[in-house]
Chains A and B, each alone.
Chain A
Amino acid sequence: MSKDDFFIGWAEPPKVDRRFFLGTGLGLMAGTAATAAGVAALQRPVGPGDWNMGEIREWRGIATAEPYGMLRTLDLDGTPRTALLGCQGKCGVSAKIGALAGKPVIVKGSLIQRGPHTMIAVVDGLDWIREDTGGTIGDLAFPSPEPLFEATLNGEILDSKCWFGAMRPSEGKVHKSCASLCIRGGIPPAFYVKDRKDQKALIIMTPGGYGHNKDLLPFVADPVAITGQIQRFGDLFLLDAPVSAINRI
């Protein structure tokens, strides 16, 4: 090594070093780009769904507070649809429906939608729900849950709001804390099940017609098996099972 080859940070780098730096720099850049592409491309599919936060609109329908805050409303083609209700953050709104339950109401918020599943994220403040004085109940009355069959299913407990499209991904261990906070706050919990043909279903969870709450938290986002009764609730499915029927796999 000649004297000129010695690198000192405060001096001009020697010529040999400059060529080396250029080579190393370009090599590191190529490696960086390749690693970024590789690491990004191998991520699991995160699922569809979206929250159109910017579009605030109003829905007319019938509200209920049990098992969770929901609005039964007419679809564009005239069929009744059930939209879950949530706040803008990680909380449910069932406690705020109060005396308006069962009455025609107008609800104001933005839509979170994944396939047939919808949630209305209602606007902050008190005017998110008001009585629809000109409205009629008609076909929109909430039906009683209709028992379908008993089943033991493997799946994952998660919060409906994130899964509907508020977050992507919205499942698994990385999302566990968020799902716990959502369910703790009153967002309806759901059981997400898949089969070997990669067919999927989402079932809203309830123990005996009421809402689950903190009792569910130890099992959120873990692989579990649940034995319970599948019920039809309008266009939704419910899984009626107590926490004692949940087992970690």
Chain B
Amino acid sequence: MKRAHRKSHLLLWLVLGPVMFATIILAVLNRPAAPVNDALPDALIEEAN
């Protein structure tokens, strides 16, 4: 690989790396909470595990 390429290669990774990890961290922190109810009205219940 030419030197110019090695340099831009490294630079590209120094940009992409933090972007990648930031995305993962933010995505994991923002996972949607399961919309659970404390109790369902008895009339509604039909499918129990």
**A residues touching B (Cβ–Cβ < 8 Å)?**
115-116, 148-149, 151, 153-156, 173, 193-203, 222-225, 230, 237, 249
Contacts and interface: CB of A to CB of B under 8 A. Distances in A.
B33 A223 contact: yes
Query: Which DSSP category, helix, strand, loop or mixed, fits chain B's interface?
Result: loop
A226 to B, nearest CB: 10
Contact of A196 (B33, B38, B44, B48): B38
B27 to A, nearest CB: 11
A238 to B, nearest CB: 11
Interface in B19-49: 32-41, 43-49
A113 B34 CA distance: 25
19 contacts: A115-B46, A154-B37, A155-B35, A193-B40, A194-B37, A195-B37, A195-B38, A195-B40, A196-B39, A199-B48, A201-B46, A202-B46, A202-B47, A222-B32, A223-B32, A223-B33, A230-B41, A237-B44, A249-B33
A221 B49 CA distance: 22
Query: Which DSSP category, helix, strand, loop or mixed, fits chain A's interface?
Result: strand
Nearest to A198: B49
Interface of B: 32-41, 43-49
A202 B40 CA distance: 11
A24 to B, nearest CB: 25
A223 B34 contact: yes
A196 B49 CA distance: 11
A175 to B, nearest CB: 13
